[in-house]
């Protein structure tokens, strides 16, 4: 996720989860945000001090609806003009009720009603009874029906009051994903498209303790899944490295056979498939059910058997509307080997990466790839963070594979 150049306003209202805004400010800056500006309701000041927020955000903090900037312009107007998104966190039942009924009696509600044509995200946190009250639910539905509003639903968990239930502020990754999606430059490019992505190296057991695997961290596949989701796709990620807090379907697998089963089960309903996983080509013939003891076997040998080639099977079963993208991890003859795989596995495109380099490819945050298409054209994406590579790859595919159709018909 990248928030470079973005100004985010966090509207904090009076709930115990207000302190979570502190961590979020730091994370937004870590992810590139240009400015994070905090505004508070009077009761929020009882939970988190303006001084703390000012120190973390390195920006003035406002809590009066009468606040003005040095030119005398009311702050809520300045924020509505200059900021990219308003995130109300935590949003109390009272704040939600006021917003749903057009009240503007504090700086947060006044800013919200001024903040038109830009994303407003509301992350409620409150006691379960308050959250489930029919009036709160009706207010939430009202807000949800507004075009620029997103409700980031609270989760089930232990609440500050000691009770357990719905009302726990959504976790930070979930909140950031929503914000990222709302601000994404290519929001909607893959709207309604069902996409399947695989990620990570498979783990082939030798015994209950040891495995054969590889250096894939799952980062490239995860970046693709995140970007696809942010561009509106209906994503299923099949991975050996399940991430936390994702808002799309994540299926956790271990072996190549597990991955094959999950992929083949879900493939038919997906329009686009990206095989970014590093599937082990071999499994152990007779994995030991017990830990192999050093004292008993001084130099054990392992017999390997070939694993199924999932991508090749997908290539054989591919339906005419399906787009199949493979990845090639090569240490030599990068383009030649990738091109062979493109043809042999009946792919629409293959993304070739040079894993002999330590600054790109396996287990690092950046990659540099050459995409080979079935029509023999190719395109190189220079070294960049994997999220950026994923974004460029998806833009390129939408343009090339849909032309002259629209991307939404991918
Ligand atoms: O996970 P990261 O640390 O971020 O690293 C990213 C990556 C380098 C793993 C990724 O960008 C990548 O190259 N993934 C493919 C790795 C791989 O297995 O390449 P391959 O050339 O061995 O396989 C070619 C294609 O066939 C791949 O799409 C692979 O998923 C697929 N395959 C391979 C073997 C097999 N038995 N079944 C398969 O489906």
pLDDT digits 0-9 by tens, 230-260: 999 999 999 999 998 899 999 999 999 999 9
Q: Mean pLDDT over residues 284-303, rounded?
A: 88
Cis amide linkage into residue 90, ω under 30° from 0: yes
Question: How many whole angstroms from 14 Cα to the centroid of ligand 1?
Answer: 49
Reply yes or no on whether 161 is catalytic.
yes
Q: What is the pLDDT of residue 159?
A: 80
Q: What is the pLDDT of residue 294?
A: 82
- Per DSSP, the residues of 299-350 read S----EEEPP-HHHHHHHH--TT-EEEEEEEESSSHHHHHHHHHHHTT-SEE
Beta bridge partners of 103: none
Q: What is the pLDDT of residue 337?
A: 96
Question: How many whole angstroms from 246 Cα to the centroid of ligand 1?
Answer: 22
User: Sorting pLDDT into bands at 50, 70 and 90, what band is 401?
Assistant: low
Which residue from 276, 305, 369 has its CB within 8 A of the most atoms of ligand 1, so it is best to mutate?
A: 276
Which residue from 241, 243, 267, 277 has its CB within 8 A of the most atoms of ligand 1, so it is best to mutate?
A: 277
pLDDT digits 0-9 by tens, 354-392: 999 999 999 999 999 999 999 999 999 999 999 999 999
pLDDT digits 0-9 by tens, 333-356: 999 999 999 999 999 999 999 999
CA distances to 20, 89, 167, 184, 229 from 145, rounded to whole Å, are 27, 19, 21, 21, 21
- Percentage of the chain beyond pLDDT 70 is 97
- pTM for this one? 0.90
pLDDT digits 0-9 by tens, 73-128: 999 999 999 999 999 999 999 999 999 999 999 999 999 999 999 999 999 999 99
Catalytic entry in 22, 38, 161, 379: 161
Q: What is the pLDDT of residue 230?
A: 95
Residue of the CA atom closest to atom 24 of ligand 1:
328
User: Sorting pLDDT into bands at 50, 70 and 90, what band is 402?
Assistant: low
Q: Mean pLDDT over residues 276-302, rounded?
A: 90
Using DSSP bridges, classify how beta strands 35-40 and 7-12 pair: parallel, antiparallel or unpaired.
parallel
Atom of ligand 1 nearest to the CA of 314: 39
In the predicted model, is pLDDT for residue 407 greater than 80? Answer: no
- Lining ligand 1 with CB less than 6 A are 216-220, 256, 275-279, 281, 307, 309-311, 326-329, 341, 353, 355, 361-363
Question: If you average pLDDT over every residue of the chain, what do you get?
Answer: 94
């Amino acid at each position: 996720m990248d928030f470079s150049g973005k100004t985010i306003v966090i509207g904090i209202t009076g709930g115990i989860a207000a302190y979570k805004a502190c961590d979020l400010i730091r994370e937004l800056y870590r992810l590139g945000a240009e400015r994070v500006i905090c505004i508070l309701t009077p009761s929020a000041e009882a939970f988190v001090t303006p001084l703390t927020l000012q120190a973390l955000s390195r920006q003035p903090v406002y809590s009066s609806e009468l606040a003005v900037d040095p030119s005398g312009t009311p702050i809520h107007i300045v924020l509505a003009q200059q900021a990219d998104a308003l995130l109300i966190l935590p949003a109390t039942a009272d704040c939600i009720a006021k917003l749903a009924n057009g009240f503007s009696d504090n700086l947060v509600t006044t800013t919200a009603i001024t903040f038109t044509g830009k994303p407003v995200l509301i992350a409620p946190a409150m006691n379960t009874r308050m959250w489930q009250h029919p009036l709160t639910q009706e207010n939430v539905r009202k807000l949800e029906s507004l075009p620029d509003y997103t409700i980031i639903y609270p989760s089930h968990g232990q609440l500050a009051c000691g009770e357990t239930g719905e009302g726990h502020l959504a976790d930070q990754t979930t909140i950031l994903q929503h914000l990222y999606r709302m601000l994404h430059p290519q929001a909607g490019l893959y709207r309604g498209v069902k996409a399947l992505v695989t990620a990570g190296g498979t783990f082939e057991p030798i015994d209950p303790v040891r495995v054969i695997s590889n250096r894939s961290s799952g980062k490239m596949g995860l970046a693709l899944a995140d970007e696809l989701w942010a561009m509106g796709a209906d994503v299923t990620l099949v991975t050996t490295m399940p991430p936390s807090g994702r808002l799309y379907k994540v299926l956790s697998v271990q072996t190549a056979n597990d991955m094959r089963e999950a992929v083949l089960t879900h493939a038919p309903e997906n329009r686009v498939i990206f095989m970014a996983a590093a599937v082990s080509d071999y499994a152990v013939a007779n994995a030991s059910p017990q830990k192999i003891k050093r004292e008993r076997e001084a130099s054990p040998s392992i017999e390997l058997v070939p694993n199924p080639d999932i991508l090749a099977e997908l290539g054989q079963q591919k339906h005419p509307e399906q787009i199949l993208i493979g990845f090639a991890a090569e240490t030599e003859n990068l383009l030649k080997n990738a091109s062979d795989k493109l043809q042999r596995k009946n792919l629409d495109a293959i993304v070739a990466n040079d894993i002999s380099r330590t600054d790109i490819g396996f287990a690092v945050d950046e990659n540099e790839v050459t995409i080979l298409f079935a029509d023999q054209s190719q395109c190189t994406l220079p070294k960049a963070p994997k999220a950026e590579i994923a974004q460029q790859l998806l833009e390129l595919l939408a343009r090339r594979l849909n032309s002259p159709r629209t991307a939404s018909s991918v």
